[in-house]
Amino acid sequence: MKIKEIYDFENNRQFTSDKYTIRFIREGTWWRAYEWSAYLAHNFPNGMDDSKRLFVTKKHYVELGKDLVVVGLQLKSFEKYLPCIITDDSCFSFENDYVDVNADKFFETIGNEIVDCKKVLEDWKCSFQLSEKKGKVSKNASKENDSDWCKNEIARILNEIADYQLSNRTIVENTVFLNEIQSKIKKILQ
């Protein structure tokens, strides 16, 4: 499944009928959930503390001109992260390259009704740093999208510099920080 199809599914989802549907896309031996599905998979009420939840990655996709969040797990890990679902066949809808997990009854048990799903997703996405830029820039790629990406990266770097506590660090820590910032800037300028 192409990233455009994945994004279109997540972006055009009907939050009245499939609010708690988690779509996992098969990518090799991994199953990945994007955007709202990633939010649901990460926040699934499995009794785990925050440090043991699914790891969230935020990537910029050049062909979309958007940052997406993604979580992934292997089939053997479904039971650990999504307990009870594995034993309930009525929750699964398998297709060739994806599986839809209906998690309505599991989220309803926690009693937190999510009213504005798109706002919740955007707020949640903002809590993660961009980890990588995915996709190749084609000749037809919009310069505006690439320009937006550069602006966002520069803003992130400036925020990182503003938040850095220079006076509370050693000379070595400050030098390492400066090297990391230089590397990030060089990456943008390439």
Percent of the chain with pLDDT over 90: 6
Widest Cα–Cα separation across the chain:
58
Where residue 140 falls among pLDDT bands split at 50, 70, 90? very low
**Dihedral sign (CA 99, 78, 71, 42):** positive
Burial-class residue 24 by CB neighbours within 10 Å (0-12, 13-18, 19+).
Answer: buried
Q: Cα(168)–Cα(148) distance, rounded to whole angstroms?
A: 33
Percent of the chain with pLDDT over 70: 73
Specify which residues 67 forms β-bridges with.
60
Q: In one letter, which amino acid is 145?
A: N
Instruction: Evaluate whether 166 touches 174 at the Cβ level (below 8 Å).
Output: yes
Q: Cα(144)–Cα(164) distance, rounded to whole angstroms?
A: 30
3-class DSSP state of 93: strand
Q: Cα(44)–Cα(50) distance, rounded to whole angstroms?
A: 11
Task: Name the most confidently modeled range: 36-40, 149-153, 166-170.
Answer: 36-40
Do you know the residue count of the chain?
190
pTM above 0.85?
A: no
